[in-house]
Structure 1
Amino acid sequence: MTLHRGVLCPAMALDPALHDWLLDTDPALRWQVERDLIDAPRDEWEATRSRIATEGFGARLLALQDPDGQWAGGAFFPKDFDFDGPEAAEGAGQPWTATTWSLNALRDWGLDPAALAGTAERLDANSRWEYDGSPYWRGEVDCCINAYTLASGVWLGADVSGIAQWFLEHRMSDGGWNCEWVEGSTRSSFHSTLNVLLALLYAEQATGGSDELRAARHAGEEYLLERRLMRRLSTDEPVGPWVTRFAYPFRAPFSVLKATDYFREAALHDGVPPDARLGDAIEVVRAARRPDGTWLQEHRYPGQSWFDVDVPPGLPSPWLTFFGTRVLRWWDGAAA
């Protein structure tokens, strides 16, 4: 998987108070701070990472797994979710407790997949998509759902080659993807494209990928870069207020923080410098940094969750501060 590749100019060293604050966090975050912000030795951050399965957020979420391998009894929605009831009403929010979202969290936190030994097989036997009842690792029709499933399948060792091929067959002519293709959309979506890119990069890092998938990933990146991660190609107007709204967990929506962090990882993986077209988005990230070096939690996506992993809106967020600092460290370090 991804190894530490430090890019740092001396001026980017963390303020001591910020350093201590970011280290006083759950192992799911702390190991990444150690690796990417303070250049701790590998054995140190790996030791912290190993604690995810037994401490804090990771241990809590593992304990909530059902005997059949799922969480909350369902693939994308909890078991017996009432699609016609108040929990599905406008503004109620997507429930974040089912299998897909739980796997996303554990994978993003860096859990060793060995802690989920046998889960891939149990999901194959027991989990079915609410959309059409197909087996879990076969995927669905939604680009974002298939992106999450591709990444989790690679992580857990499931055969998700069919989903990888699906992305080649469902890419839009403008280079990206759109979950609304099934409704007839022919233009790519910022949200869908970024979620697919995250999965394709994760799979490529883990398996080496293929020339076809790598080309598709680069085309999807170009879709976003042409629009500077923020603007409509036709009018140069902002695509929406969600572009500059920062919230953790990131969930499905697009933001320039989520996107610039992706482009950091992709550039390091590809061995290329930052693309200049990221500049406007980077400055949005920089402008959101407070004088004390933190970023505020600006929003919380509505919907049921197992437990909170970050602060309420209006407070300094350790997670957002980590991602913002990591992005600027890469960008400014490369410039230096």
Structure 2
Amino acid sequence: MGTNPRIDVAMEQSIRYLASASPWEAARPEDSRRKWDGAWWHMAALYEMGAAKRIPASAIASAKHLLETQVWQTFVITEKDQPTCEADKRKMDCCHCELAVYYMILMACGCELDHEQPWIREWLLNHQLPDGGLNCNPDAYMGSRKSSIISTLPPLEAILRHTDREFTNREAAFLDEGARYLIEHRLVCAKQDGSVIETDWLKPCFPRFFEYDILRGMSFLAEWSHRRNKPLPVSVLAEGLERLNGFLEAGGVRIGRQVFDPRGPWGGHTFPLLEALSGIGDISPYLTRQLTRIIERMGL
């Protein structure tokens, strides 16, 4: 359950909503991912809370069916990647970070997507750029060849956290190159001059969905070091802790921003669970738990 009565009540509301047919009966399949009150975001919030097992089986089945039948299963970079028949043209397009979030939700629910829909893992592994990251802007693959930190983290997390066997050489290289990318950017900095790319990334955010913050990057590096038996990038993590200092107190990590901020680029309708989890200034037990694991890895 949640950490307080308001969260508990809101969580049950989301579970009831997902159990109903209404999220999946929309005339357009993309309505299920409408920011921020579509079914996918209810599922993602539960997943980030560690409550994926509470997602109703009917919602999981509907989400899997949507991915299998209503998504164009190719990232469109050039004209040859585009659908040609009318039925395919009506399908949803996805980006790397969105697809990775969907993958993590369903894998956490016990789905065997690597057997049932192997194209998803292939998609993520196929789109790493030479700098080690990914980019949801197709132009990057034909032009700059530079990655986006936002686009990079969910695919890295998906492969790291949802591989319950030894990593293949390809997967290991994918993770190691992704870690290199984050380390070279010191989690939030431009390589050219060391300036912070986006100051909002210094403010912890929950739920994140696809959004990035410095704590998310730190968490990946700590997990990567452990799973891959690689040296912990202590100086990068220590710098990250210093940058986070204004949001840390004895009780844990305070939320610094909301992904759905109406003044930001992604404003939109919300739902009770999202509101209950994301109060600016609130101590987030979920972010605090993440920070605690990082500190333990650092031996502090």
* TM class, shorter-length: 0.7 to 0.9
Tell me if structure 1 keeps the 8 A contact 2:154–2:210.
Answer: yes
Match of 2:264 in 1: none
Tell me if structure 2 keeps the 8 A contact 1:168–1:216.
Answer: yes
Structure 1 residue 293, shift from structure 2 partner: 4.0
1:63 and 2:16 correspond: yes
State, as a whole percentage, how many aligned pairs show the same letter. 17
Residue 151 of structure 2, aligned match among 189, 192, 203: 192
- Between the two proteins, the alignment pairs up a number of residues equal to 266
| Structure 1 segment 104-119 matched on structure 2, within 5 A | 104-111=44-51, 113=53, 115-119=55-59
Distance of 2:191 and 2:48 partners within structure 1? 31
AA matched with 1:227:
H
Tell me if structure 2 keeps the 8 A contact 1:191–1:253.
Answer: yes
| TM-score under structure 2 length normalisation | 0.73
SS at match of 1:64: helix
Residue 257 of structure 1, aligned match among 192, 210, 215: 215
Distance of 2:203 and 2:94 partners within structure 1? 28
Distance of 1:263 and 1:69 partners within structure 2? 39
Distance of 1:278 and 1:220 partners within structure 2? 16
Match of 2:298 in 1: 334
AA matched with 2:96:
C
Tell me if structure 1 keeps the 8 A contact 2:207–2:278.
Answer: no
Distance of 1:134 and 1:214 partners within structure 2? 33
Tell me if structure 2 keeps the 8 A contact 1:261–1:327.
Answer: yes
Deviations 1:108-165 (CA, angstroms, capped at 9, x unpaired): 2222537532444333445634998769xx9844111111122123234142321111
Unpaired segments ≥5 residues, structure 2: 77-82, 261-266
Q: Alpha carbons of 1:62 and 1:188: their partners in 2 closer, same or farther (altered >3 Å)?
A: same
Distance of 1:310 and 1:114 partners within structure 2? 16
Deviates more, 1:177-186 or 1:244-253: 177-186
Distance of 2:224 and 2:286 partners within structure 1? 18
AA matched with 2:254:
L
Structure 1 residue 271, shift from structure 2 partner: 4.6
Q: Alpha carbons of 1:208 and 1:109: their partners in 2 closer, same or farther (altered >3 Å)?
A: farther
Unpaired segments ≥5 residues, structure 1: 1-26, 31-51, 82-94
Q: Alpha carbons of 1:143 and 1:192: their partners in 2 closer, same or farther (altered >3 Å)?
A: same
Distance of 2:277 and 2:53 partners within structure 1? 23
Match of 1:230 in 2: 188
AA matched with 2:287:
F
AA matched with 2:179:
E
Deviations 1:156-186 (CA, angstroms, capped at 9, x unpaired): 4142321111122211111110111257552
Distance of 2:196 and 2:25 partners within structure 1? 38
Q: In angstroms, what is the RMSD of aligned CA positions?
A: 3.4
Residue 63 of structure 2, aligned match among 123, 127, 134: 123
SS at match of 2:138: helix
Tell me if structure 2 keeps the 8 A contact 1:96–1:303.
Answer: yes
AA matched with 2:178:
G
Match of 1:145 in 2: 98
AA matched with 1:310:
L
SS at match of 2:18: coil
Deviates more, 1:250-259 or 1:69-78: 69-78
Q: Alpha carbons of 1:213 and 1:69: their partners in 2 closer, same or farther (altered >3 Å)?
A: farther
Distance of 1:115 and 1:329 partners within structure 2? 26
